[in-house]
Structure 1
Amino acid sequence: MISILNFIQTGRLRSNSNKIKTYNMKKIYTLLTILFLSVASYAQDISGLWNGTVNISEDKSINFIFNIAYIGTDYVTIIDIPSQRVSGLKPQKTFLENGVLFIDGANLGIKYQGTFNKDLQQFEGNFTEGVNVLPLNLKKGDIKPEKTTKRPQEPVKPYPYLEEDVVFENTEASVSLSGTLTLPKKKGKFPVVILISGSGPQDRDETVANHKPFWVLADYLTRQGIAVLRYDDRGVGSSTGSFSNATTKDFSTDVLSAVDYLKSRRDIDVNNIGLIGHSEGGIIAPLVANQTKDVSFIVLLASTGIPGSEISLIQATTMRPFPVPDEAAYEQAIRKAITIAASYKELSVIKSELSTHYNATIAPILKPLVGDDTKVSQIINGLIETRTTPWIRYFYNYNPANEIEKLSIPVLSLNGTNDTQVSAEINQKGIKDALIKGKNKDYKILQLEGLNHFFQESNTGKMDEYSAIEQTFSPLALKEISNWIIQHMR
């Protein structure tokens, strides 16, 4: 999942490139405002299925299902998003008080707050993800299944290999991680790769835009005799822990725990344990490899090779969904905001400085778009919170080139020429320069023509194209990955 709402998530490796074609007040209002709702009482048990639809634009919507259960003395909610093929999101707390339903998904970077309308028998409120706040009303009951989009590459049972649900522990973080291990159907010890997902809370299949790229990749590699471990991120699916409080460094400890788990198995060749990292996973992989001698190779897919602060600046300026009167001034304002947020000052000081900065530079841009000072203030407060999460502040100060330079193991780096989220040219140069500086003797860096951020054959590479493409993973990219791994087995 790039973003549940498929919106710009400033500073994340995955950001939406959808361009808003018109900027009239009605559309901006739909995108950015918070609706103030009257309080109504509601005393019934709310256990059961509730569903609602978030309207992102005139021609795009996302359906939600909230499964609310009363367990012991507390409500517990599980969120499914059928249109995105995402299921099992577990917000940390659910409250119902005086007719107001509050679902606290801070562990996932989301929340919902709604007030019960007795006449319409529904909760009326807002779903929030990062700085994005959209109206979402919930009615009791399930929703009709949507028409399934054709995904011809997805595996169909029976598989010609073994599939096993596994659980391993990150004792350092007190996190239990659940995943799937696929193994060739024969006796012996097998080379294995661990798949590391990109930014945002991801399930084991890295489900995004109605695609499951990690499932397709695992299927392909296992058919070539390579075992594959893929797992739900902490706080997602069947894994425990809090996603939103973790940094790239924290996620690296999850991967190290996966390596330790694989070493404990008798069917794994411990001399051939590799890592495949996609997007943010590509900057986690070298961090892991430099903390253990048990990783024998890494594959970087759409990885960055420059500091996170630069990635954030590039994405904030090239993927911005609204016009600005002065591009140079806007870029300078974003750069200063990142500099403020990346500092090592007290968090309260950073937030105060960001508030002053945004009110001087961004507020004048937002005011004509949203119409009043209250909404501008709400947006700016959201931006401040987004800029100061543990993940983003670590990311700003992390330069993957420093870790790549230390690598002495074989490295394969693939990027698509149509990647609009992680530019192949600038990032592959950063990766190559680091490998050369570190005197790595075995690496391959390749740009694959016409492939997007998810290695689909594409026309534009923009994110609004992902779900429309039937292909999940280019056969050329799959073959390139498997052939290189087989060639580098010890």
Structure 2
Amino acid sequence: MKIKLSFIALFFITYSFSLGQNLAGPWKGTLNLPNGKLDIIFKISAKDNDLKGIMDIPAQGVKGLPIHEIKYHSPFLHIKLPNLGIEYVGNVIDDDHIEGTFKQGGQSFTMNLEKNLDEETPMSKPQEPKPPFPYVNKAIEFYNKDAGILLSGTFSRPTDLKRYPTVILISGSGPSDRDQNILGHKPFLVLADHLTRNGIAVLRFDERGVGSSQGDFKSATTLDFKNDVEAAISFLKLRTDVDPTKIGLIGHSEGGVIAQMIAAENKDIAFSILMASPALLGKDILLHQKQQMEIISGVPDEAVARNQLIFEEAYDMIINNEQPLDERLREYFKHQYHNNISNQQLNAIVTGMSNPWFVGFVKLNPAIYLQSIKTPLYALNGSKDVQVLADENLKMINDELTKNGNPNFKVEKLEGLNHLFQECESGLPAEYGVLNQTLSPVFLEKVSDWIEDITKMKH
């Protein structure tokens, strides 16, 4: 699920093409905001004329945010975060100084950067596996002929040359690379390593328009991402080291919905694992998420109830296809907040709620797919997940699979875990990057044990 937070807070970002080896290094700048100063650190790496980077916000305890897009056309450096309407444009003066402007939601702040070699490189999280690996780990590419794009990823398997049970990892919403890099964590790398060490092959890939994969992420919908996974399935069926009768899906959050879609219609899928997967109508997922986050954050009850009414009506406008949607939403929120809302806030809300992915998600009803899934399925949620609430969604999965007569499914709530399956305190997204744990060992063992049991049963 996308993380919706306030100005310059946590956010998802990815990569793009650029030039300029001299830009590599840590760059530090200070935003002079109305409520105080905020240091921003861009850490840029360059390889083969490709710029990538991460962003630190020390005052918020956040490190290792992957940057969405970095481009350099001499003398100008562009850093873009389109999901939040954020852009940094700087004039590169020399190898150590950039003069520029930080923009968001119609507001601009002068922010000059200096290369600061004293800034330490973010430490890897303790669970992040390092080579050499005791298994085969190969960079791969596969083609989505329907979209006309080449997708890049990593395929891992044990060293013995035979046909293995294989899973495809499907990430949640927001641009994601093959490791599901988020706030310094690489959960898909950790999960793939654990599964491969336990005799299960794994395919994970950069989403379209992310990392080394072709395509346009910003214009893509859930159905487009589903199509990419189907291309991965076709690729696996041609491999001599994959058992084509034991191909499964592991989907996290929105990726779990994609797994449901495919399992409902594709007979080649042997099993599915849903990690914190929505099962309710998209509109209800978003309302529950907003309510739970506000309650835990201490928002007054009256404000929580008021926000529920306001956003429920806005989501209904989307479901009812009111057009032009962006204009209707803009006028609606101006009226609801009696014009006491800044252009910055208004632009962020309208831009986020009118893009194709969001419109599709509000209307999405996973129960339709659950009704048709007859193959083995394992659904897990953390008890402290505030983005996809465990009880409501697991109940829906249980009810729908019971009604359709699925003979082999399991739903389980794991105590003390958040949306990313980390052991946590509050479960709020602000904790994700601060925690050292990437994935709970309990979660990892449950997943590998279940796959082992299922694939042994299937001959």
Q: Output the TM-score relative to the length of structure 1.
A: 0.79
156-165 or 310-319, larger mean C-alpha shift: 310-319
Q: 5+ residue gaps in structure 1?
A: 1-12, 21-27, 32-44, 367-375
Q: 5+ residue gaps in structure 2?
A: 10-18, 57-61
Which of the residues 428, 435, 458 maps onto 1:462?
Answer: 428
Give 1:471-486 correspondences, 5 Å limit: 471-486=437-452
Distance 2:350 2:423 in 1: 37
Q: Which amino acid aligns with 2:239?
A: R
Q: Which amino acid aligns with 2:211?
A: G
59-68 or 180-189, larger mean C-alpha shift: 59-68
Q: Which amino acid aligns with 1:184?
A: P
Encode CA deviations 1:436-481: one digit per residue, 9 max, x unaligned.
2222111000001111111112222222222332221111111110
Q: Which amino acid aligns with 1:154?
A: E
SS at structure 1 position matched to 2:444: helix
Distance 2:212 2:55 in 1: 16
Q: Within the alignment, does 1:15 sit opposite 2:3 as a pair?
A: yes
Q: Within the alignment, does 1:63 sit opposite 2:35 as a pair?
A: no
Q: CA separation of 1:176/1:53 partners in 2, compared to 1, >3 Å: closer, same or farther?
A: farther
Work out whether residues 304 and 431 of structure 1, in 8 Å CA contact, stay in contact via their aligned partners in 2. no
Distance 1:329 1:87 in 2: 34
Which of the residues 316, 329, 334 maps onto 1:354?
Answer: 329
Q: CA separation of 1:238/1:69 partners in 2, compared to 1, >3 Å: closer, same or farther?
A: closer
Distance 2:115 2:80 in 1: 21
Work out whether residues 28 and 42 of structure 2, in 8 Å CA contact, stay in contact via their aligned partners in 1. yes
Encode CA deviations 1:346-405: one digit per residue, 9 max, x unaligned.
4xx222211221111135553xxxxxxxxx123212311111000000001101111111
The aligned residue for residue 367 of structure 2 is 401
Give the drift of 1:114.
3.0
Which of the residues 406, 411, 435 maps onto 1:440?
Answer: 406
Q: Within the alignment, does 1:162 sit opposite 2:136 as a pair?
A: yes
Q: Which amino acid aligns with 1:359?
A: K
Give the drift of 1:103.
5.3
Give the drift of 1:151.
2.5
Which of the residues 334, 337, 348 maps onto 2:314?
Answer: 337
Which of the residues 196, 204, 223 maps onto 2:178?
Answer: 204
SS at structure 1 position matched to 2:244: strand
Give the drift of 1:155.
1.4
The aligned residue for residue 150 of structure 2 is 176
Distance 1:70 1:184 in 2: 31
The aligned residue for residue 418 of structure 1 is 384
SS at structure 1 position matched to 2:177: coil
Distance 1:308 1:245 in 2: 19
Distance 1:465 1:474 in 2: 15
CA RMSD of aligned residues (A): 3.4
Give the drift of 1:294.
1.4
SS at structure 1 position matched to 2:433: coil
Q: CA separation of 1:469/1:323 partners in 2, compared to 1, >3 Å: closer, same or farther?
A: closer
Distance 1:351 1:16 in 2: 18
Which of the residues 157, 160, 167 maps onto 1:186?
Answer: 160
Give the drift of 1:261.
0.7
Percent sequence identity over aligned pairs: 34
Work out whether residues 87 and 237 of structure 1, in 8 Å CA contact, stay in contact via their aligned partners in 2. no
387-396 or 149-158, larger mean C-alpha shift: 149-158
Give the drift of 1:136.
7.2
SS at structure 2 position matched to 1:221: helix
Which of the residues 185, 188, 193 maps onto 1:214?
Answer: 188
The aligned residue for residue 122 of structure 1 is 98
Greater relative contact order: 1 or 2 (C-alpha under 8 angstroms, separation 6 or more)? 1
Distance 2:380 2:38 in 1: 32
- Counting matched residue pairs gives 434
The aligned residue for residue 315 of structure 1 is 289
Work out whether residues 196 and 282 of structure 1, in 8 Å CA contact, stay in contact via their aligned partners in 2. yes
Distance 2:331 2:244 in 1: 54
464-473 or 173-182, larger mean C-alpha shift: 464-473
SS at structure 2 position matched to 1:334: helix
Q: CA separation of 1:471/1:162 partners in 2, compared to 1, >3 Å: closer, same or farther?
A: same
Encode CA deviations 1:269-323: one digit per residue, 9 max, x unaligned.
0000000001111111111223422111000011111011111222334435795
Q: Output the TM-score relative to the length of structure 2.
A: 0.84
Q: CA separation of 1:240/1:125 partners in 2, compared to 1, >3 Å: closer, same or farther?
A: same
Give 1:146-157 correspondences, 5 Å limit: 146=120, 148-149=122-123, 151-157=125-131
Distance 2:44 2:86 in 1: 12
The aligned residue for residue 36 of structure 1 is none
The aligned residue for residue 284 of structure 1 is 258
Distance 2:48 2:123 in 1: 34
Work out whether residues 102 and 114 of structure 1, in 8 Å CA contact, stay in contact via their aligned partners in 2. yes
The aligned residue for residue 7 of structure 1 is none
Give the drift of 1:435.
1.2
Q: Which amino acid aligns with 1:399?
A: N
Give 1:73-84 correspondences, 5 Å limit: 78-81=52-55, 84=63
